[in-house]
Amino acid sequence: MRIKFQNYYLQLTQTMHLLPKIPRNLIVTFLFLCGAYLSSRILIGHTGAENNSALVFVLAVIFISLLTDGFRYGIIASLIGAFCINYFFMYPYDQFSLNYAGYPVAMLSMLIISSIVCALTSLVKQQVTEARKREQKTRELYALNEKLNEEKNAIQIAAARETIRSNILRAVSHDLRTPLTTISGAASVLLASSEIASSEKNLSLVQDIKHDADDLIVMVENLLSITKIRDGTMPLNKQEELLEEVAGDALMNVRHRYPNVAIEMDLSDDILFLPMEPMLIKQVIINLLENAIRHSGDLEHISLHLFRQDHWAVVEVRDRGKGLSLEVSRAIQAGRQFERDTSGDSTRGMGIGLAVCQSIIKAHNGFFAAGNDPEKGGAVFRFGLPMEDLEL
């Protein structure tokens, strides 16, 4: 029986809440006033003149105040209840009269008591609502605090991992640099030997050793540059330099290592004189040219173009090879730090080289971009350095 009553009550409550606010409040007020009237009619039939209709209507006002919005409906119910008590349940019946002794006091007392009860009930409802809001806000703040703590812990863990990784890379790079330099030097001595030169097979093997040792030295230097720049331990020693001279030194270095590769250099009519760390910018240009040589599949149409664009000194490296993969293009265009795994040939250092380029250019407050040439094909790498206006 109790379960059925609860089900009926829930269904009625859900149905009432589907109605708009004002009609719902009027219906609740009307139903409880009718209930109070019917209950008082029943009581007066058994008690005669001595009835408790005033208490019944006060009880109805309490329920109306609880189930309606605000306290105006309770006040209205108090006025209607006072009138009904005087008209229907006080002598002379079925007419309104204040001529008898005690009637005005009874009417006024009923109105005051009902209004006070109504105001107190509304205040309790308001406090309950505010308490629920505070509870909800507290839960949201607690959830937000938990989320912030989780993010803080994740950041701390990521920072710790990055520090450990950088320390390992730095230690390994330092340990590898000396033996690799020794191998490269020993290979150079062997190449100068007449005994090695007389044997084509041995000469090819020693040349491969020298080439791979030099490649590994460049990769080690790139790793050291990445860890130092990211850790902030490599301060930029900027000085005014001609970008054409820095690019020329980088091109001579690459041509020396790859004498059979033709690289076209296109200089701008403008004089690109700007503050930079020349050794780092030279390393960026070398990395881009070597990436084009190693990964493009094109050794005949590699070009190095220097020009001015607004307040930027721009360096552009082009080839007509197989172009960049979609993952590499998206990573660079989105400005995300380039990861080795997005390279199609990470074992040869493409990912490390581009990561170094991004870090160096970012440290110079420049921009780094890459994409594919839709007309001629191939990859296009471009970076820009901010120029200072030297004109007075």
On whether residue 61 sits in a domain, the answer given is no
Please tell me the predicted confidence (pLDDT) of residue 347.
36
For the chain, how many residues are written?
Answer: 392
Q: How confident is the model at residue 232 (pLDDT cuts 50, 70, 90)?
A: low
Calculate the alpha carbon distances from 15 to 9, 19, 24, 273 in Å: 10, 7, 10, 79
CB atoms within 10 A of CB 255: 14
How many independent structural domains does the chain possess? 1
**pLDDT tens column, 51-70:** 577 778 777 887 787 777 76
Cα–Cα dist 51/85, whole Å: 10
On whether residue 108 sits in a domain, the answer given is no
Say whether pLDDT at 381 is over 80. Answer: yes
Say whether pLDDT at 283 is over 60. Answer: yes
Say whether pLDDT at 349 is over 70. Answer: no
Q: How confident is the model at residue 180 (pLDDT cuts 50, 70, 90)?
A: confident
On whether residue 202 sits in a domain, the answer given is no
Domain span including residue 265:
236-386
Please tell me the predicted confidence (pLDDT) of residue 226.
64
On whether residue 258 sits in a domain, the answer given is yes
Calculate the alpha carbon distances from 242 to 133, 192, 252, 255, 267 in Å: 66, 36, 16, 20, 12
Is the pTM above the cut of 0.85? no
On whether residue 175 sits in a domain, the answer given is no
On whether residue 162 sits in a domain, the answer given is no
> Under a CB-based contact definition with an 8 Å cutoff, are residues 389 and 255 in contact?
no
Please tell me the predicted confidence (pLDDT) of residue 385.
93
> Under a CB-based contact definition with an 8 Å cutoff, are residues 99 and 64 in contact?
no
On whether residue 364 sits in a domain, the answer given is yes
Q: What CATH number is attached to the domain comprising 344?
A: 3.30.565.10
On whether residue 116 sits in a domain, the answer given is no
> Under a CB-based contact definition with an 8 Å cutoff, are residues 322 and 301 in contact?
no
Nearest residue to 353 via CA among 161, 164, 220:
220
